[in-house]
Amino acid sequence: MLEVKGLRKVYEDTSRTVEAIRDVSFCVGEGELVCIVGPSGAGKTTLLKCIAGLLAPTAGGVIVEATPVVGPPPAMAVVFQEYGRSLFPWMSVHDNVMLPLKQKNMPAARREELVRDALAAVDLKGVESAYPWQLSGGMQQRVAIARAVAYEPHVLLMDEPFAAVDAQTRADLEDLIRVLWRRLRVTVLFVTHDIDESVYLGQRVMVMSQAPTVIMEDVAVDLPDERTQLETRSMARFGELRKHIYSQIQLAKQGWRPPAG
Amino acid sequence: MSALGPLPRRIAVALALPVTLIAAWWITSAGSENFYFPPLQTIVQTFGKLWFSPHALSDVVPSLWRFSVGYLAAAFLGIAIGIPVGASRNLRNVLEPVLEFFRAIPPPVLVPVLILFAGIGNEMKALVIMFGCIWPVLLNTVAGVRALDEVLAETVRSYRIGRFARLWHFTLPGASPLIFTGLRQALPIGIILMVVSEMFAASDGIGFALVQYQRTFALPEMWSGIILLGIIGIVLSLIFRAIETRLLGWYHGLRQSQRAG
């Protein structure tokens, strides 16, 4: 479904070169929900932009649905961290969700239906005509998620989407992602710096090292599929996974990395 | 800042100084024997006779026509050139020295030159107005396109939004606050150049009429023409503000919500 092979990214300008990603390879199966967690400065956003086709890798590559990524793939949607900057402030909520659909060849009635359903799916009704900046941060991020959902992607990339909302809203949005993922059977790659969030959301958690980034470990999350904030987070297994990933991140921060090969 | 008072209060505040000044002029000039500074009452009477007559149209209409053509051409060209220049660093590097040079030329000096190949007709005047008005529009459009939000640009790319939709739904509205700043700066420049170009070589127009009155020592008429120009300036700026409020409502709302948050 989604394959990253030997991806390397070096930023070069006249004065210096920075190796952001050294060598990252992994696969995400169809319909999987995989979290990528790493310390700040782990090149998470760089990796995600390479996968999204927004940034060209220095070496290696990304394959989505058997097609090498050279630009943004058609069946992919990205939700960015900065909801305030990823929504068009001059457009209503409705028009924000509608704009990408206008690029798709489909009857107008179908577009309207997709917008309506997507806004309903993220619990946003009655704000269609509002401007994004008239809404709270959590609601704005819901609009961005609705826009991604309406686009009917096969792959949904999320770049620390809840890093800028308050804790309560964040828990609600995490549950929303689980619900949408299960209902839409979409493949989700979720980047975060929050260990708890990665364990709570993911079927797998990939732990990144510090830049130049490699993957430290690919952790399978063997928690039941039905997850609730209250019960899942108080399970003994949740604590173990959390502790394990936490210690990996600590190692990453100290500069430890897995032996090459 | 204190809350804005009710509307009548605001109107009273806005009108207080103009009314005082007019009253002071009226009183101090009443019964004036000075040839150069006739009583305001005489000027007002002349104003009514002169500019509310059908004859006045033969001066006012050509002036406003030249202004409109020159200003709108400058607006169109300034935006049309500014967008690609703002989007491309290479284009900026090539064009910037040339633009700076042309911008440094005071537009009125072009009048004698333009007379040579554009004659003394409307084309010459519209060209002079256009040449003066284009710079603030062009430079502000360039700045506006450069300041477009990066996250929003990536959103546009990742949803594979086409060239035309990108221009219409992203570039133009995103740059519009600065484009309007440029258009507002160009407004008085256009009026000045309208008058100046008509003073040089013309057979009609407000500028032409003013010079005629001055040469024939028709002082009340001359003063009334100056007042007319002031009124035209205010009316144009009111029309401009009405259009701006309509198109940039989102921007002012966004700014207000950012200040409040």
Check the CA dihedral B18-B19-B24-B25 and report its sign.
Answer: positive
| Closest to B206 measured CA to CA, from B221, B220, B218, B217 | B221
Residues A66 and A181 in one domain: yes
Helix (H) or strand (E) holding A193: none
A152, A174, A197 - which closes a domain: A152
Residues A61 and A91 in one domain: no
Asked if A90's CB is within 8 angstroms of B257's CB, the reply is no
Residues A96 and A171 in one domain: no
Quote the pLDDT of residue B4: 57
Domains: count for chain A: 2
Range of the domain at A261: 1-75+155-261
Asked if A151's CB is within 8 angstroms of B250's CB, the reply is no
Domain ranges of chain B: 39-260
Asked if A90's CB is within 8 angstroms of B152's CB, the reply is no
Cα–Cα dist A207/A249, whole Å: 7
Quote the pLDDT of residue B165: 94
Question: Does A85 lie at the interface with B, CB-CB under 8 angstroms?
Answer: yes
pLDDT in tens, chain A (261 residues): 899 999 999 998 888 888 899 999 999 999 999 999 988 877 888 999 999 999 999 999 999 999 999 999 999 999 998 888 999 999 999 999 999 999 888 999 999 999 999 999 999 989 999 999 999 999 999 999 999 999 999 999 999 999 888 888 999 999 999 999 999 999 999 999 999 999 999 999 999 988 888 898 899 999 998 899 989 999 999 999 999 999 988 888 887 777 764
Residues A116 and A240 in one domain: no
Residues A65 and A88 in one domain: no
Facing A85 at nearest CB: one of B151, B159, B160: B151
Residues A9 and A110 in one domain: no
Whether A216 and A209 have beta carbons less than 8 Å apart is answered as yes
Instruction: Write out residues in chain B with pLDDT < 50, as ranges.
Output: 1-2
Residues A96 and A195 in one domain: no
Whether B248 and A90 have beta carbons less than 8 Å apart is answered as no
Residues A57 and A185 in one domain: yes
A129, A152, A175 - which closes a domain: A152
Cα–Cα dist A191/A44, whole Å: 7
Quote the pLDDT of residue B84: 96
pLDDT digits (tens, 9 = 90+) for B165-192: 999 999 999 999 999 999 999 999 999 9
- Which 188-227 residues of chain A touch chain B by CB within 8 A? none
- Strand, helix or coil for residue B120: coil
Quote the pLDDT of residue A260: 62
Asked if B160's CB is within 8 angstroms of A90's CB, the reply is no
Structural class in CATH, domain B39-260: mainly alpha
Which residues in chain B are contacts of A77 at CB distance < 8 A?
158-159
**Number of C-beta neighbours around residue B87 at 10 A:** 16
Q: Is A85 exposed, middle or buried (0-12, 13-18, 19+ CB in 10 A)?
A: middle
Residues A55 and A133 in one domain: no
- Strand, helix or coil for residue B141: helix
| Closest to B74 measured CA to CA, from B23, B125, B147 | B125
Asked if A99's CB is within 8 angstroms of B165's CB, the reply is yes
The single-letter code of the amino acid at A256 is W
* Gap from B248 CA to chain A (nearest CA, Å): 8
Question: Does A83 lie at the interface with B, CB-CB under 8 angstroms?
Answer: no
Whether A81 and A70 have beta carbons less than 8 Å apart is answered as no
Residues A66 and A88 in one domain: no
Task: Cite the beta strand spans of chain A per DSSP E.
Answer: 2-12, 17-28, 33-37, 59-64, 67-68, 76-79, 155-159, 187-192, 204-208, 213-220
Facing A86 at nearest CB: one of B152, B174, B253: B152
Residues A159 and A148 in one domain: no
Question: Does A104 lie at the interface with B, CB-CB under 8 angstroms?
Answer: no
The domain that contains A1 carries what CATH number?
Answer: 3.40.50.300
CB pairs under 8 A between A and B: 67
- Strand, helix or coil for residue A154: coil
Residues A185 and A200 in one domain: yes
Nearest-by-CA chain A residue for B163: A103
| DSSP assigned state of B171 | I
Quote the pLDDT of residue B1: 45
User: B40-51 and B219-247 helices cross at what angle (nearest 10)?
Assistant: 70
ipTM: 0.90
Quote the pLDDT of residue B25: 92
pLDDT digits (tens, 9 = 90+) for A132-149: 999 999 999 999 999 999
